[in-house]
Structure 1
């Protein structure tokens, strides 16, 4: 799965965006929404989906509750912690959206 596909799925878990190339029209604003690169976008996604986050010395673990069961994503610290957290949040949101479809 490409980053663009991952972001599109994660965005749909947040709100149905209207995409225009790299930018999206979300919540009445045209923006370049990217929860993989932007802390605020990832934090908004985490809050909206009521995610549970655990950070230990080796992994970032994100749990995203859904109607059926909990989505759990683990990402190791092969990258910096903030980047790992944004990736885990984005993956959990995308997985949650795909299960709901």
Structure 2
């Protein structure tokens, strides 16, 4: 199992799936003895490039930890992306620019 299988499993389960870091390590880096910070950052980037968000934002180095993988194109992925943008803008003291949420309109409740 590699990136394609993990991405497929996440999408098959409606866009959200919980994995242990041990499982992710066994599938993405079976030849490695330990999870290091560099390897976790590399795996996080590989998942991100394939449209998968991770909670926590960077995969942890402890094999006993559990993480949640979210399809970026799912409703939860859209909400998480929008919340991240809003939080980043808030940190620098600026409001969300007009139209920043246009692609997320499907999240809004119809009036």
TM-score, L = length of structure 1: 0.28
Q: Whose strand proportion is higher, 1 or 2?
A: 1
Q: Whose helix proportion is higher, 1 or 2?
A: 2
TM-score, L = length of structure 2: 0.27
Largest Rg, 1 or 2: 2
